[in-house]
Amino acid sequence: MMNRPVPLTKADLMQVESPARYVGGEYNAIVKEDMLEELSRTGKTSYVRFAFCFPDIYEIGMSNLALQILYHVLNESPFVACERAFSPWLDMDKILREKNIPLYSLETKTPLCDFDILGFTLGYEMCYTNVLQMLDLGHIPFYAKDRGENDPIICCGGPVTYNIEPMADFFDIVMMGEGEEMILELSEKIREFKLSKDTDHPMTKEELLRNCDTIEGVYVPALYSFSYDKCTGAVITPVDDTVKKSITKRIISDLDHCSYPTTPVVSNLRVVHDRSYLEVFRGCIRGCRFCQAGFIYRPVREKSVEVLCEQGRLLEENTGYDEMGLLSLATSDYTKFPELAENLLSTFEGHHTSLSLPSLRLDSFSLDLMEKVQSTRKSGLTFAPEAGTQRLRDVINKNIREDDIFSALRLAFMGGWSTVKLYFMLGLPTETDEDVLGIADLAARIEKLYYDVGRETGQKMRRLEITVSTSLFIPKPFTPFQWEPQNSKEELIRKQRLLKDHIRSRNIRYAWHDFDSSVWEVVLARGDRRLAPVLLEGYQSGHFFDAWDDHFRYDDWVAILEKHGLSIEDFSREFSEEETLPWDHISVGVKKSFLLSERHKAHEETTTPSCREHCSGCGVACFGVGECFAKRNVNKEESSDAAK
């Protein structure tokens, strides 16, 4: 494959940080040569040209699994040519503007405005302004209503799109849920639209959008009107009867038979997570009440251990990475985790390939495993108790007990571990000062345990390092806490000081997360269509890369928000259980009534068992698949057998 030259001079590239971000040419990157041949011969192509856009820099985007999955799914199709584009960093942004060079794709260096469709993957709210940057640099009008028949179709997907309302006016199409099947159905519609242009009856964009509305999981914001009223809330209504009333997310029923990228694009440049990824399962059996991922990715669907071992082997062979990460929301919850881990380790034997195991629950098995996989120095142990007292852990349904933490730590300390990281959240619903001080107390008791272990075993103990890290609670859509208020900034600062003042040991370090971005994140997470002009004005006055703390200007954003007659309070307040929420027309399968009952249970300090122990009837069984669904059927059969 010949890599095509960039529309920039060497001097341009030499001026910017990491110029390799902008040149492409990676191993496993896909260029459809016959499309290029067709283009150079006839000036057009029957391929659907799809630009997969990641609204952050290359090194972050290339670490994203959704990008790798969908890039491959799309390019496997005989009529789609998918290429990648990323947000250029400020240095390159400046050069593109000054020279009026449109942002281009890495594979064929084609300007974004020349694609048929742009698909953005949105993993976090703070990247919204970078979507606007990429449209702007791609020479594409911002608002969907301002784009003409020949502009590309702009679509998006990803976890934050479940409440896309703040950005809804900028997108033609939003995909809810898992994209592997939906994105091909969408591409097929785009193909019909494209081919119709050469016939006597060219399809209009409006016809295309109405056509796309028939695809399950697809949301066409322009086909819904928006109204806001203090009493009723943010109401989204279909423009007519032909438009579906609510949009239910899509899921993949059988992950074993779903395409998975075992030949992912391998960056030439070292990226943020420089390893291959093996996705183990989707969904989470635990129902932590603050955790959006725990609800939106339901139900739990595992890949079989045979498929995983084969995919793991292929990934190692096809990428050359010396590390593979197992990916899921909670690795230890995979039912055949020991078998999988041992099998992969024996595949890697003698290859100097290590296994990265994020989100492990610590027990004697996982400690043994960590011994085996860590060919090098012992890194830290990580726990996420999230709250400082058992009472508050019950409120948030974090099923981790202090006994479990302490018995695991005892084993770990005996094995020579001396670095512990503890993650907590501040500002959780019902939190009191006692809960905040509980964090300091827990850390102090862990410190004591460490020296007790040293005394009991007579081991020479190195210096202990405990890091207590707090982030701020952000109420997210589709969680039982979606109605909860966020603490005011002043209150959060007070709690942070209180905690800081009670951590006194030199072995314990307190690291905290910046408030400002968490406060702004709640605005975007629970916002509605009134925010579109706010985001655009912010972007146009130079605010993007908001996910980068150094570039985020809270005060400026608040000023712009207020200029538009809105306030932080409008979005951080407690939402009433009666009002319509901006995302009520979307369904993730989990019923609103279930979320509400979970909220009430939280306030009663009652926990809910995991989906593996007992089905709590969240509603996601409507998909007819998943571990909990299978179990329900078994239970039903058992009870009907018993009845007989």
Partner 1 sequence: MLQSEREKMMTMQQHQTAYVQRCKFTRTGATVYLGHLDLMTCFERAARRAGLPILYSQGYNPRPMMVFALPLGVGIETMCDYLDVSLDRPYDPDHFVKEMNAHLPSGLQLLTSKAIPEPKDSIMSIVTTASYRFEAKGIRKAMETAMEQETLVVEKMAKGKVKQTDIRPLLICLSQASDEDPDAVTFYAFAGSERNVRPDLILNSLCTYCGMDRALSENTRVIRTGLFSGTYPRIVPIEDVEVRPNTAGA
Interacting residues toward partner 1 by CB under 8 A: 1-3, 9-11, 13-15, 19-20, 22-27, 266, 268-270, 317-322, 351-352, 371, 375-378, 415-416, 459-460
Select 202 or 415, whichever has its Cβ closest to partner 1. 415
Question: Token pair for residue 562?
Answer: 């207020």
Beta carbons of 474 and 514 less than 8 angstroms apart: no
DSSP string, 543-595: ---TTSGGG--HHHHHHHHHHTT--THHHHSPPPSSSBPTTTTEE-SS-HHHH
Q: Which is nearer to partner 1, 22 or 473 (CB)?
A: 22
How far apart are the two ends of the chain, measured CA to CA in Å?
67
The span from the CA of 204 to the CA of 207, in Å, is 5
Q: Which is nearer to partner 1, 33 or 556 (CB)?
A: 33
DSSP 253-309: S-GGGS---SS--B-SS--SS-SEEEE-EES-S---TT-HHHHHTPSPEEPPHHHHH
- CB 99 → partner 1: shortest distance, Å? 13
Cβ atoms of 469 and 505 closer than 8 Å = no
| Minimum distance of partner 1 from residue 26's CB (angstroms) | 6
The tokens describing 44, both together, are 């057009």
Q: How many angstroms separate the CA atoms of 598 and 588, rounded?
A: 16
Query: Which residues face 218 on adjacent strands?
Result: 175
Are 33 and 12 a contacting pair, CB within 8 Å?
no
Stated as kind and residue range, the H or E segment containing 155 is: strand 153-157
* E strand segments, 42-147: 48-54, 80-86, 117-121
CB nearer to partner 1: pick between 352 and 504: 352
43 or 350: CB nearest partner 1:
350
Query: How near is the Cβ of 357 to partner 1 at its closest, in Å?
Result: 18
CB of 410 to partner 1, least distance (A): 15
CB of 43 to partner 1, least distance (A): 26
β-strands 301-302, 281-282 pairing: antiparallel
Nearer to partner 1, 380 or 416 (CB): 416
Q: Are 50 and 74 in contact (CB under 8 A)?
A: yes
- State the nearest-atom distance from the C-beta of 421 to partner 1, in Å: 18
In the bound complex, what is the minimum distance in angstroms from residue 18's beta carbon to partner 1? 8
Q: How far is the CB of 1 from partner 1 (least distance, A)?
A: 6
Which of 10, 41 has the CB closer to partner 1? 10
Q: Based on CB atoms, which residue is closest to partner 1, 27 or 143?
A: 27
The nearer residue to partner 1, 14 or 231, going by C-beta atoms, is: 14
Between 354 and 517, CB nearer to partner 1: 354
- DSSP notation for 162-230: GG-GGGGGG-SEEE-B--TTHHHHHHHHHHHHHHHTTSSSPPPHHHHHHHHHTSTTEE-GGGEEEEEET
Q: Report the nearest approach of partner 1 to the CB of residue 273 (Å).
A: 14
CB of residue 619 to partner 1, shortest distance in Å = 45
If the CB atoms of residues 418 and 507 are measured against partner 1, the closer one turns out to be 418
Rg from Cα positions in the chain: 25
Q: Would you state the structure tokens that stand for residue 252, as one six-digit string?
A: 């993949």
Q: Minimum distance from CB of 12 to partner 1 (Å)?
A: 9
- In this complex, which beta carbon is closest to partner 1, that of residue 23 or of residue 558? 23
* CB nearer partner 1, residue 76 or residue 317: 317
CA separation for the pair 97, 90 (Å, rounded): 10
> How near is the Cβ of 20 to partner 1 at its closest, in Å?
5
Shortest CB 308 distance to partner 1, Å:
21
Min dist CB 460 to partner 1, Å, is: 8
Those residues whose C-beta lies under 8 Å from the C-beta of residue 508, and which sit 6 or more positions away, are 443, 444, 447, 466, 467, 468
Contact 510, 499 (CB under 8 A): yes
Nearer to partner 1 by Cβ, of 174 and 315: the residue is 315
H or E stretch at 421: strand 419-426
Q: List the one residue out of 636, 626, 633 whose CA is nearest residue 303.
A: 626
- Residue with token string 């040293």: 454
In a 3-state reduction of DSSP, which class is residue 426? strand
Give whichever of 94 and 270 is closer to partner 1, judged by the CB atom.
270
Tell me the HSE value of 442 on the side-chain side, using a 13 A CA sphere.
Answer: 29
CA 211 to chain centre: 28
Whole-angstrom distance, CA of residue 111 vs CA of residue 170: 19
Helix axes 532-540, 128-137, angle to 10 degrees: 60
Closest distance of CB 458 from partner 1, Å:
11
